[in-house]
Every structure is written in C-alpha cells, then in structure tokens.
Chains A and B, each alone.
Chain A
Amino acid sequence: MLRLELRGEMSRSMIYWSPIYAVILTFIAGMIMFAILGVDPVAAILTFFIEPLNSMDGVAELFVKATPLVLIAIGLSFGFQANVWNIGAEGQLTIGALAGGSVALLFFNVDSPLLMPGMIIAGILGGMAWAAIPAFLKTKYGTNEILTSLMLTYVGLLVLSYLIHGPWKDPEGQNFPESRLFHDAAIIPIILEETRLHFGWIITLFGVAVAWVVMTRHMIGFQIRVIGMAPMAASFAGFKEKHIIWLTLMISGGAAGLAGMIEVSGPIGQIVPVISPGYGFTAIIVAFLGRLHPVGCLFAGLLMALTYLGGDNAQIEMNLPNAVTGVFQGMLLFFLLASDVLVRYRIRFGKATALVAPAAATPPMAIDEEGV
C-alpha cells in the first residue's frame, strides 16, 4: 500500500523539485490529451514547447511576453511571503499604464531625454497609488486586502474605459475608443533589431537581481519572511507589521504599474481598451510556480509565456483549438499544487510505522495508488 507520511520538517529539496515534477507531469498529461484528440503527441509537444523558440524572433517574443508576467510576479512574491495578498495587480497595472501613458500624451511630440524616465516614474507611482488604497484600508481599518485590491481592479478598468471613450480619444480616430499613437520618444527602445524585444526586458532582469538581493541579503527581506512565517515572533522582535503591509503593497503595486507602463509604451504604443489580457492574474500563478523567489519567477514567467506562444503555434501548425493553452496552464498549476504535497509529506510503501514527526498531530494520510 502506498501512503503519505508527514515529514519532520519541510523538505528543502522538494521545494525546488516540485515545480520540475509539475512540468514533467504536465508534459505527460498533455501528451495523453493530444493522443486522445487524435494528434501525434510528440509532434504536438514539439510544436507547443520547442518550435516557438527556433528563431531569434521567437525567443524575442518569449521575452516580450514574459516581461509583464515576471515583473508583476516578483512584486507579488514580496507580499505573498508576508501573507499580504494583493490580488489586484491587474488594476495596478492598468492605472500604471494610464499614468505612464498620460505623460506621453501630455507631452505629445516632445522629444526630451527626460520623457521616458518620466513615464517610468509615473507608471510606478500610478501602480503604487492604486495599491495604496488597500494598504491604507488594511492598516487603518483592518479591511481584507484580497477583496479591496480585487474590486479596485474593476474600478481601474472603468477609469481606463472612461478616458479612452472621452478625454483621451484620438481626435483623428473616427470616434473609436483608442488614444493617439505615442510619438517615437515615448516608445521604449527596441534592443534587438528586426524584433519587438524592448528595453523593458532589461528592466525586468534588473528587477530580478534587485529583488534577489533585497529578499535574501537585506534586513527588509528577512523581516518580510519572519512576519509571514511567525507573526508573533516578528512582533516580539519589534518588526512593525503595518510597515511591512505598506512596503509590500508599494513594491507589488509599483512593479505592476511599471509593467503596465512598459506594455503601452512598448509593444502596444498607445492606450487601448484592452491593455492586458489578464497579466495581473496570471502573475499570481507565476509567483507561486516560481516559489516566490525572484529567479524562480523569472523561469516560471518564461514558461508561462511559452504556453501562450505554443498555443499560437499549435493553432497555426496543427489546427488545435486555443483552449489547449488554457488547459496547459491549468494542468501546470494543478500538478504544482499536487506535487507540493511532497514538500510536507513523503511517500512510503508498506504499513504505517510509529510517529516519526514530533509535530504530527494529524495522522498520516492513507491514499490509494491512483491518488498519486
């Protein structure tokens, strides 16, 4: 009989292995799915995960797609480690895009070297401002930030809708709800000729490095983790929980705002009704897939981006439906959660032995073989 046994302590190696198991299981389940659909499973997996990357353009597109996902995910992981649940990155992204875009539209046709930095700062501040509302409500009135940040996403989208249907509508746009196209100085520079790869990717990599230092080598990172794991210990140590709530929401809001600004100033080049196809929500998956670690988020963001590119490719090359992309993302998350069981439990064969873990108040779970 196969059963799960509680580990004495969390397995450090499994924390890193479980995402890899999840990816492998997703591949296997994906191949079974393709076989059932009557498609050659090996060819389908190759089309989905390998072929998008066989050209310079493909790799560039991967980075373009991963940029907002990684940026937002790194920001969110600060909060998630401290048990601050910012679910409203999508709204912060939108307001950041509007704030950054407002600088571009306000100084239309102004070619100043200060324009781009101004847009970046405005984007970050915009995202922070939107995240400040849940931070204020939580620290002042104890409001649940999951609800407030999520609800504010819809408010943010309405603000976007108001602006492009009203004051920001392109005067030459035949009344269609779009802003005018940004002028060249307000467009993020391309860093690889003949592709869409832009400077935002460099900003993202820089963000990964900074986040890694702060998270692992700085007192702030330590405080965040202690508050998340042992709030009581943190308060005995004199860490101020309210400061950390503000700090983590500012980091995640600022990162999302920056991501939004990069989208409108980079691949889109104007303010449109749909700025993000849900990056703020997908980034939550990316953050957990990346183990709330900056480098992990980088890889997880790339993998998630690849599923979108693969989805395009599977449609073009194999006539598979777009739903395949969603199925892959869902399986990835599902298998990750399933594999995470192994962080706290180990698989044992045979009958239960005496309690191994001193803290094992819950009896080891017995499950049948199909369950693994």
Chain B
Amino acid sequence: MISKRVFLGALLSAVMVVGASAGQAAEKKIKVGFVYVGPIGDHGWSYQHNVGRLAIARTFGDQVKTTYVESVPEGADAARVITKLARTGHKLIFTTSFGYMNPTLKVAKRFPKVKFEHATGFKRSKNLSTYSARFYEGRHVVGLIAGKMTKSNILGYVASFPIPEVIRGINATIIAARSVNPKVKIKIVWVSSWFDPGKEADAAKALIAQGADIIMQHTDSPAPLQQAQKNKVWAVGQASDMVSFGPKAQLTAIIDNWNAYYIQRTKAVLDGTWKSQDVWGGFKSGMVTMAPYNKAIPADVVAMAEKAKEGIFNGTVHPFAGPIKNQAGKIVVPAGKNADDGMLAGMNFYVEGVDGSIPK
C-alpha cells in the first residue's frame, strides 16, 4: 500500500510534467481533428470518414497531424469534445454527424481562428462550412438495378430516422425502381439508430420474412447485408464497399468518398485560402461512387445502371425529375421540371408507391 503522501506527490509531479510538455509543443505543423458519431469499425459512415482522415495523413505526411474521437454522443458531450479539439491546437475540425450542428456552431463562435466543417447540416458561419453528399444519386442507380433484379417485387429497406436525407433515399429508390418495374413495392423498417448491428439484423430478417428479396439500408453496419447473404437474397452495401461481408449478396454499394474533399479543405487551411462554403457533391465531384457490380447482374442491367450514372454525371438525368406525385396522388414536381435543392434538403413526404406513413 502506497502511503498517501507519496501518492499525492506523484500525482502533483505528474500534473506538472504533463502541463510542461503541453506548453513546449511548438506548432510547426497543423492538426486536423475529426469527431465521429459511431466507432471507426462500423464499416459504414464513420469508417468512411476515417478513410478520408487517413487520406489526409497519406497526402500531407509530416505537415499534418490528424486526430479523431469516435462514438461521441450527439447530446451534451459533443460540445465538450469539439472544444477540447479546438483547445488542443487543432486548426481544422470536421464534425461528421447531423446532431453536432448546434454544438459545432457554439464552439465555432468561441474559437474564431479555428476552421470548422460540419457534415449534413445547414447552419454556417464565417469559420463554419457545411458539406454533404448527394447519396440519392447512388440510390437512383440502385433503384434501377433493384427494379430489374427483384423476383418478389418487394424491396426491403432498413431505415434509421425519418429525417429528410433518409426520406430522400427511400423516394429516390422507389422512383427509379418503378420506372423500370411498376409492380415494385417497398417495405420499410425503422430501427431508430444509426448503428445497432443487432437491431439492423433483426429488421433485415423481418423484411426477408415478409418476402423482400433485395435488402437496402440507411444504417451504418454491415449486419443487414450479412443477413441477406445468409438468407440468399440480394442486398446493397451502405457507405463503404461491404462486399467482404456478403460477397454473394451485395449487388453493389453506394460509397461515400470524402477523400478528395478532406484533402482539398486541409490544403486550403495550409495555404490560408479556406473560406466558409456549402458543398453538396454527388457523382460529379466524386463524393458518391458505386462499388463494383455483382457478377450475377445481367449485362444489360449493368449497362442501364452505367448509363444512368453517366447521365447524372452529365446532368442529363435527374433522380427527381417530374412528374413526381406524392402519396395522395398530387403532383409535387411537374413534368419537365426537376425537384430543386430546397425541396430535396427538406423532403418530408413519401412519393407515390411507398406504403404507410412517415413515423412521427
């Protein structure tokens, strides 16, 4: 048993050592911090952001030191973690979940010299940018493939929270699927979580039991894909190429690719050219890409998918091209027009063809 005095003495000297070393660390390179909502091992959303972080590390080598904090809850803790990063000399901080919006804004006000980048939000300031990706472009391609590949004409969708981004994904999928196969129906199970492999797997099982033969997801773990593999139905990977979790089942995956954006923004801080902005990138910017197609998909379907992808890239195809009707059959986007970004960003209605109502 250590005596109290020795123990206290050790504690005190420890405090001084730590304090001194923190003071000595001269700023020769910049530090870039990341805040993730899930663990980096989710193989989905947070995993891909971390891939982006590693791309920064590879590109800039010694010039940049990157740091991350994972599994940060979206409540009172977020502001603490973001503040801590700002305080420990990080010059550029990426906060990568919607729930970090107000905490990021608060901290950004307190640290005007630090640059902040918030993913998927809509509040900006002089030192706070927002960025997101047009995942719905990928959903369009997936919807086309699913419409052709389904035998039961039932698509299963494992969804997280009924926020505009998720609703948009569901709508984009069903619009595309019904454009090639009007008989397609979509069944949705809400799991009220971004990352909960147990619940996600249960949802996928329930959907398969209800006859769905293609499982899609807007949650972060590969669990739904694994269930599809086990039950010999198709699935679509989410956020990263999840093919190793379901080599037979994965038709393709919608990949979030943040690498180029992260490198570009880090470079802007190094060059002193960083400005607050709002970026919403899709296929064209490379933020959204598709994983290799499953070999079992017929060549004509692959060709159709590739054509749609190219069309979106060139601007000749729009996943939300009119006429689009809501569930009541009322036209919300007239023929010849496309839904504008405002409608897409705040989307809170289902299009025709989706059964049920958005959960409250």
- A residues touching B (Cβ–Cβ < 8 Å)? 46-47, 50-51, 53-55, 57, 61, 64-65, 161-162, 165-166, 174-178, 181, 196, 263, 266-270, 272-277, 308-309, 312-313, 315-317, 319, 321-323
Q: Is the CB of B81 within 8 A of A312?
A: yes
With A174-B345, A267-B80, A317-B88 given, name 6 new contacts (CB 8 A): A54-B15, A272-B74, A275-B75, A277-B75, A277-B77, A321-B40
Q: Which residues of B contact A315 (CB under 8 A)?
A: 67-70
> Least Cβ distance of A53 to chain B in Å?
8
Q: Which residues of B contact A176 (CB under 8 A)?
A: 98, 163-164
In the complex, what distance in Å separates the CA atom of A46 from the CA atom of B70?
A: 21
Q: Is the CB of B99 within 8 A of A175?
A: no
Is B102 close to A, CB under 8 A? yes
Q: Is the CB of A316 within 8 A of B73?
A: no
In the complex, what distance in Å separates the CA atom of A65 from the CA atom of B71?
A: 16
Q: Which residues of B contact A312 (CB under 8 A)?
A: 69, 80-81, 84
Q: Is the CB of A322 within 8 A of B71?
A: yes
Task: Specify which of A165, A175, A323 is in contact with B359 (CB 8 Å cutoff).
Answer: A165
Q: Is the CB of B76 within 8 A of A165?
A: no
Q: Which residues of B contact A317 (CB under 8 A)?
A: 88
> Least Cβ distance of B103 to chain A in Å?
8
Q: Which residues of A contact B85 (CB under 8 A)?
A: 316
In the complex, what distance in Å separates the CA atom of A120 from the CA atom of B87?
A: 33
Q: Which residues of A contact B18 (CB under 8 A)?
A: 46-47, 50-51, 54
Which residue of chain B is the closest to A316 with respect to CB atoms? B67
> Least Cβ distance of A69 to chain B in Å?
12
- B residues touching A (Cβ–Cβ < 8 Å)? 11, 14-15, 17-19, 22, 33, 39-40, 67-71, 73-77, 79-81, 83-85, 87-88, 98-99, 102, 122, 161-164, 192, 345-348, 359-360
Q: Is the CB of B74 within 8 A of A322?
A: no
Between A and B, 16 residue pairs with Cβ closer than 8 Å are: A50-B18, A61-B80, A65-B77, A165-B359, A166-B360, A174-B122, A175-B163, A178-B99, A267-B76, A267-B80, A269-B102, A274-B75, A309-B80, A316-B67, A317-B88, A322-B69
Q: Which residues of B contact A47 (CB under 8 A)?
A: 18
Q: Which residues of A contact B162 (CB under 8 A)?
A: 165, 177
> Least Cβ distance of B138 to chain A in Å?
21
Q: Which residues of A contact B67 (CB under 8 A)?
A: 315-316, 319
In the complex, what distance in Å separates the CA atom of A276 from the CA atom of B291?
A: 37
> Least Cβ distance of A256 to chain B in Å?
15
Q: Which residues of A contact B40 (CB under 8 A)?
A: 321
> Least Cβ distance of B112 to chain A in Å?
14
> Least Cβ distance of A58 to chain B in Å?
9
6 closest Cβ pairs, A-B complex? A267-B76, A277-B73, A166-B360, A175-B348, A174-B346, A322-B71
Which residue of chain B is the closest to A325 with respect to CB atoms? B71
> Least Cβ distance of B275 to chain A in Å?
23
In the complex, what distance in Å separates the CA atom of A263 from the CA atom of B77?
A: 11
Which residue of chain B is the closest to A47 with respect to CB atoms? B18
Q: Is the CB of A321 within 8 A of B87?
A: no
In the complex, what distance in Å separates the CA atom of A133 from the CA atom of B241?
A: 48
Given contacts A161-B192, A176-B164, contact A263 B122 (CB under 8 A): no
Task: Specify which of A54, A268, A313 is in contact with B75 (CB 8 Å cutoff).
Answer: A268
In the complex, what distance in Å separates the CA atom of A313 from the CA atom of B22?
A: 13
Q: Is the CB of B14 within 8 A of A46?
A: yes
Q: Is the CB of B39 within 8 A of A266?
A: no
Q: Which residues of A contact B33 (CB under 8 A)?
A: 316
In the complex, what distance in Å separates the CA atom of A351 from the CA atom of B118?
A: 67
Q: Is the CB of B360 within 8 A of A162?
A: yes
Q: Is the CB of A274 within 8 A of B73?
A: yes
> Least Cβ distance of A54 to chain B in Å?
5
Q: Which residues of A contact B348 (CB under 8 A)?
A: 175
In the complex, what distance in Å separates the CA atom of A317 from the CA atom of B19?
A: 13
In the complex, what distance in Å separates the CA atom of A342 from the CA atom of B79?
A: 42
Q: Is the CB of B80 within 8 A of A196?
A: yes
In the complex, what distance in Å separates the CA atom of A50 from the CA atom of B71?
A: 22
Which residue of chain A is the closest to B16 with respect to CB atoms? A54
Q: Which residues of B contact A50 (CB under 8 A)?
A: 11, 14-15, 18
In the complex, what distance in Å separates the CA atom of A46 from the CA atom of B40?
A: 25
Q: Which residues of B contact A65 (CB under 8 A)?
A: 76-77, 80
Q: Which residues of B contact A308 (CB under 8 A)?
A: 77
Q: Which residues of B contact A269 (CB under 8 A)?
A: 102
Q: Which residues of B contact A178 (CB under 8 A)?
A: 99, 102
Q: Which residues of A contact B347 (CB under 8 A)?
A: 175
Task: Specify which of B19, B70, B83, B359 is in contact with A57 (CB 8 Å cutoff).
Answer: B83
In the complex, what distance in Å separates the CA atom of A272 from the CA atom of B217?
A: 23
In the complex, what distance in Å separates the CA atom of A233 from the CA atom of B67?
A: 60
Which residue of chain A is the closest to B358 with respect to CB atoms? A165
In the complex, what distance in Å separates the CA atom of A321 from the CA atom of B74?
A: 18
Most buried by A among B73, B77, B81, B348: B77
Q: Which residues of B contact A165 (CB under 8 A)?
A: 162, 359-360
In the complex, what distance in Å separates the CA atom of A178 from the CA atom of B81?
A: 21
In the complex, what distance in Å separates the CA atom of A104 from the CA atom of B39?
A: 34
In the complex, what distance in Å separates the CA atom of A313 from the CA atom of B87?
A: 12
